[in-house]
């Protein structure tokens, strides 16, 4: 018998027997820890399989409950596929794809740092009315960009949309755990988070709802999560999520980790930009502390990745969810920079000074060798 079985963790938290109620107690304790970290109440937390499900649930939930203009409530998003959704190209692919599948996307322009400005959102609202006869039924504004790290003006976008009566979804996966996100006070209607981005287990996340907001569930077939997400909860994953949230809620813990991450990424930028033809992308100041992005002139990203990998340094190009794609980064294209020659450099709680110096020792040599081969 495993340790989890001895503790009764394999029991169904929806059952009334003792084992089930023990698991229910553990699940609700984890929910409370997640709620405390983000400044919301436990009943506002819907546990999911991760950020991608949370995002899809947010889009489906809003659009499925939106009047398609025929005087009756839509029972399926396919019946409301003409609903406009305002979304910038710098949003994560899960946000862009879910919006395009379930509605029609009205693009929000961004500046050269990848930032979404409230004025650009207002322009998208006007274009939606002109082109589709109504404002967007949903606006997306990420907390921070997942490729270049730029922090977004969520408060400004939420304030604008609140005045227009438009709900806002915030993908907070890349900012949670590093930024001080009091989501209860932010005014956002829906917020997606993922445990593994915080240093927790993969395969679990949450959709946080504004108090009083009700949405149609993406997954049906059971009354779990107060009828908002069917299916037996990932209890072990939720406990890990809760433990991670609890650790990050300790006084000074987030600022300590954010400080270490910023020190590491500033060193990465210093080393990378010391090489001719390497420039930073995104806002190097107002950014999440654990992500920076650079462009490398004269050589494509993939050979640099492979060269660094041979030196036991793992970096990436573009989004972490675009590894199978050969297309240039839509985030960088929207910013007006070269999306085929970018490196995304990120650090985490386990990153050490030795890891950073390994990059410093390898980067210039890898780029130099590749450029010499290209000449």
Nearest partner of 240 among 1, 2, 4, judged by Cα: 4
Alpha carbons 70 and 215: distance in angstroms, whole number: 20
- How far, in Å, CA of 345 to CA of 159, rounded? 32
Please calculate the CA angle 128-133-135 and round it to the nearest 5 degrees: 45
Strands (E) in the chain, as ranges, are 45-48, 84-88, 104-108, 138-140, 168-171, 190-194, 205-209, 278-281, 291-296, 342-346
Q: How many CA atoms lie within 13 A of 30 on its CB side?
A: 27
Q: How far is it, in rounded angstroms, from Cα 232 to Cα 34? A: 19
Helix axes 18-38, 235-248, angle to 10 degrees: 40
Residues labelled catalytic: 321
In which region does residue 161 sit, left (phi positive, over 0), alpha (psi from -120 to 50) or beta (all else)? Answer: alpha
How far apart are alpha carbons 227 and 231 in whole angstroms?
10
- Distance in angstroms between the alpha carbons of the first and the last residue of the chain: 63
DSSP H helical segments within 142-202, as ranges?
154-164, 183-186
Query: Cβ contacts of residue 16 below 8 Å, gap of 6+?
Result: none
Identify how many contiguous H helices and E strands the chain contains and give both numbers.
13, 10
């Amino acid at each position: 018998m495993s340790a989890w079985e001895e503790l009764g963790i394999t029991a169904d938290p929806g059952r009334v027997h003792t084992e089930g109620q023990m698991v229910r107690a553990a699940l609700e304790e984890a929910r409370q820890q997640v709620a405390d970290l983000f400044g919301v109440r436990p009943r506002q937390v819907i546990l999911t399989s991760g950020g991608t499900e949370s995002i899809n649930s947010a889009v489906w939930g809003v659009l499925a409950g939106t009047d398609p203009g025929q005087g009756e409530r839509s029972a399926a998003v396919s019946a409301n596929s003409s609903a406009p959704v305002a979304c910038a190209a710098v949003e994560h692919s899960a946000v862009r794809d879910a919006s395009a599948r379930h509605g029609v996307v009205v693009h929000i322009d961004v500046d050269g740092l990848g930032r979404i400005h409230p004025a650009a959102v207002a322009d998208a609202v006007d274009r939606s009315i002109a082109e589709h006869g109504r404002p967007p039924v949903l606006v997306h504004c990420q907390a921070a960009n997942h490729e270049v790290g730029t922090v977004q003006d969520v408060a400004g976008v939420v304030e604008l949309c609140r005045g227009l009566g438009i709900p806002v979804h915030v993908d907070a996966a890349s900012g949670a755990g590093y930024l001080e996100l009091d989501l209860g006070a932010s005014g956002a209607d829906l917020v997606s988070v993922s445990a593994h981005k915080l240093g927790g287990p993969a395969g679990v996340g949450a959709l946080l709802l504004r108090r009083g907001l009700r949405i149609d569930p993406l997954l049906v077939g059971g009354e779990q999560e107060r009828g908002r997400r069917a299916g037996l909860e990932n209890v072990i994953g939720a406990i890990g999520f809760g433990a991670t949230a609890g650790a990050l809620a300790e006084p000074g813990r987030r600022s300590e980790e954010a400080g270490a991450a910023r020190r590491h990424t500033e060193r990465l930028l210093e080393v990378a930009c010391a090489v001719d033809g390497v420039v930073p992308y995104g806002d190097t100041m107002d950014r999440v502390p654990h992500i920076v992005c650079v462009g490398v002139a004269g050589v494509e990203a993939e050979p640099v990745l492979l060269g660094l990998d041979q030196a036991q340094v793992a970096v990436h190009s573009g989004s972490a969810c675009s590894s199978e794609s050969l297309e240039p980064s839509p985030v960088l294209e929207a910013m007006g920079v070269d999306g085929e020659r970018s490196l995304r450099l990120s650090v985490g709680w386990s990153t050490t000074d030795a890891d950073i110096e390994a990059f410093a020792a390898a980067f210039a040599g890898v780029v130099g060798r590749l450029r010499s081969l290209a000449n």
